[in-house]
Amino acid sequence: MTIAINEQECGAIAGTYEKICSEAGRLIVGNADLLEIVFVALLSDGHVLVEGIPGTAKSTIVKTAARLMGCDFRRVQCAVDTQPADIIGVRVWDQQERDWILRKGPIFTNIMLIDEINRLPPKSQSAFIEAMGERQATIDGITIPIDRPYIAIATQNPFEREGTFPLIEAQKDRFMFSSRSQFLSGEAELEIIRREQSGILDWASYIASLQPVLRKEDILRFNLVVKNVHIEDPVLAYIRDLVMATRSHSDVQLGVSARGSIALVRGARVLAAMDRRPFVIPDDVKKLAVPAFQHRLVLTREAGISGISPARIVGEILDSVEVP
């Protein structure tokens, strides 16, 4: 099924995102980038890896986004003893029915928050991979599809090493985008303190009071709309050149895969629609290059010792590659 793209369809997407930002802004201060990435990923049919320090409202922003987008939400707080069955579910014997029944795990939802994914042992981490890639999960040999829309948002604290299991590169590559949460600015921090002082910083009540801006059917429709946003060949070639530049950079051991190219194409289409345009421009690509690339880069040992970040390398590539 295809939906003809026009400025009216793009305007509906843009208007929806503006409403979401307006509602979320009533309580959430700062970190607007994460809300935008979640919206882009949802319409791109992708997943998000969020890295950063604790206490930067990551979970609150994701819960708020799920509520405003009319999606079911589940959360898994990861630990070293979390088993695959805790995530995907299990079959149990029902004494009354005298039969085996399927008890689905939290993975069967629309927006799933996987908190501190690097605390999961590898066997449990792998339980997410099938669901993320195939939108299905297997319980005792029975394969069960996961309803769309479906997006997994995983968080991890890169500053904690003890008791963690770093994601391997193939797992990171499954995430369409990544976001790095930071401390708030001084002004935003002061606003948080003021709200706490006035007694209006009640996240649980605030989230419960939110009315959805979207329905699941709207999201599925928007998925079809953005697939028809046009990208000219010179812009596609620009994306190719950016990806190729990551593979030849002197500080990069492993560059961006084809999944990174696809992520940039899909995300740029959504950004164009959010700007009420039925076509992609190079600025759309530039804005998403860091979220699409940074978690896919493996730096050389020397670059790591020098403190060079993947985001910095992507920035250098954006400065060096000719823009169409």
For residue 68, what is the domain's CATH number?
3.40.50.300
Asked if residue 195 and residue 91 are part of one domain, the reply reads yes
Tell me what the mean pLDDT of segment 17-33 comes to: 82
- CB–CB of 131/152 below 8 Å? yes
Asked if residue 122 and residue 65 are part of one domain, the reply reads yes
Number of domains in the chain: 2
Q: What pLDDT, on a 0 to 100 scale, did the predictor assign at position 184?
A: 73
Per the structure, the complete domain to which residue 323 belongs is given by 229-324
Q: What pLDDT, on a 0 to 100 scale, did the predictor assign at position 2?
A: 47
Asked if residue 276 and residue 209 are part of one domain, the reply reads no
Asked if residue 113 and residue 92 are part of one domain, the reply reads yes
Q: What pLDDT, on a 0 to 100 scale, did the predictor assign at position 98?
A: 75
Q: How far apart are CA 267 and CA 107, in angstroms?
A: 24
Asked if residue 237 and residue 133 are part of one domain, the reply reads no
Mean of the per-residue pLDDT values for the chain?
86
Q: Is the pLDDT of residue 180 over 50?
A: yes
Q: What is the pLDDT of residues 233-258, one digit of tens each?
A: 999 999 999 999 999 998 999 999 99
Asked if residue 54 and residue 183 are part of one domain, the reply reads yes
Q: How far apart are CA 125 and CA 276, in angstroms?
A: 38
Asked if residue 301 and residue 255 are part of one domain, the reply reads yes
Asked if residue 211 and residue 68 are part of one domain, the reply reads yes
- CB–CB of 282/275 below 8 Å? no
Tell me what the mean pLDDT of segment 47-57 comes to: 83
Asked if residue 184 and residue 298 are part of one domain, the reply reads no
Asked if residue 146 and residue 80 are part of one domain, the reply reads yes
Boundary residue ending a domain (201, 228, 255): 228
Out of 93-97, 232-236, 290-294, which region has the weakest mean confidence (pLDDT)? Answer: 93-97
- The model's confidence at residue 123, banded by pLDDT at 50, 70 and 90, is confident
Boundary residue ending a domain (203, 228, 253): 228
Q: Is the pLDDT of residue 64 over 80?
A: yes
Asked if residue 277 and residue 201 are part of one domain, the reply reads no
- Residue 31 amino acid letter: N
Tell me what the mean pLDDT of segment 115-139 comes to: 84
Tell me what the mean pLDDT of segment 34-61 comes to: 87
CA angle 25, 31, 36 (to 5 degrees): 80
Among 192, 173, 202, smallest CA distance to 261 is for 173
Q: What is the pLDDT of residues 205-221, one digit of tens each?
A: 777 788 888 899 999 99
Boundary residue ending a domain (212, 228, 244): 228
Q: Is the pLDDT of residue 4 over 60?
A: no
Q: Which two tokens stand for residue 250?
A: 């002197």
Q: What pLDDT, on a 0 to 100 scale, did the predictor assign at position 5?
A: 66
Asked if residue 275 and residue 129 are part of one domain, the reply reads no
Tell me the CATH number at 286.
1.10.8.80
Q: What pLDDT, on a 0 to 100 scale, did the predictor assign at position 200?
A: 63
